[in-house]
Amino acid sequence: MYVPEDIYTNAYFDRLLGEDVDSWLRTNVEIFERRWCKEGESTADLCEKAANAALKNAGLKAIDLDLLIIATDTPEYISPSTSAVVQHRIGAVNAGTFDLNSACAGFVTATETATHFIKSGGMDTVMVIGAYGMSKYLDKTDKKTVTLFADGAGAVILTATEEKDKGHQTGKLISKGEYADWMGIYGGGTKYPVTQEILANKDHKLKFIKKFPPELNPEMWSQLAKGLATKMGIDVTDVDQFLITQININAIRETLNLLGVPMNKAFTVMHHYGYTGSACIPIAFHKAWEEGKIKEGDTLFFIGSGGGLAFAANAFIL
């Protein structure tokens, strides 16, 4: 994983917005600080550093990669792909590339995609990076967004195995497109190309248009978890760790309550990294591994959701 060096505490936003937002952030989402890119630092920079760290941890070289998938909705450019930029930087000369955008469900969607490339027999080694540079799209006068979102990248490498009790077990993707206009960055694409009017209305910035039902994520996340468990022939209580989108700790708690699973089975990182979108689940995965919260043989459920609304879940045995 990689996160930028610059730390922004809640006190910064108290000063920025001229009011106490720290109390709400601590009580409701348990975010205390987050990282933002420096001037000139961008999504490809985050990806490059996370990619090199993953290769080092895996004992592999960039030339060993057959494919690089980057999951992000904050790309380096509209075109070409961020993955092409990163492939060149890290020297993955044998790898094909593409970007994937299912918003904050992107990392899980990308790992699910990668597994099918591997299972088809066409590839042996695939790197997936979840990346987020959302600070570039924040309206610093909008307290609904500016206090929550942060930057970072997390990378994993998936390789082929013949062991049935190892690696990817099952997965599920589902979307609720009726929510597509409730939250997003709507300016800059073909529907609303950048104009002076778009810039004046800040439509090129992240916006919450409507408030999502608070029960939506817990209900969808718990349904996805139950579905994975059923396909595996296990009970949800047999899962060792749930790595879930890290935007709201209370939504994670409610999900585990619905599943009848203790909170210590859902490792969280939003407290010191803020909400890092496509990067939050691989960052949580890395930190859980680093802190010894997960080990070989564990069953892990990865569950992500994001604008669209897109939902993705899959199960791996380490």
Can you give the pLDDT at residue 122? 85
Beta bridge partners of 56: none
Can you give the pLDDT at residue 150? 98
The mean pLDDT value for 55-66 works out to: 98
**CATH 3.40.47.10 for domain 167-317:** yes
The mean pLDDT value for 282-311 works out to: 97
95-148, pLDDT tens digit by residue?
Answer: 999 999 999 999 999 999 999 999 998 899 999 999 999 999 999 999 999 999
Does the structure show a pLDDT above 90 at 164? no
At CA 1, angle to CA 186 and CA 217, rounded to 5? 50
Domain with CATH 3.40.47.10 in the chain: 6-159, 167-317
Q: pLDDT band at 203, cuts 50/70/90?
A: confident
Which of these, 265, 205, 278, lies nearest to 1 by C-alpha position?
Answer: 278
Can you give the pLDDT at residue 183? 93
Does the structure show a pLDDT above 90 at 201? no
CATH topology of domain 6-159: Peroxisomal Thiolase; Chain A, domain 1 (3.40.47)
Q: What is the mean pLDDT of the chain?
A: 96
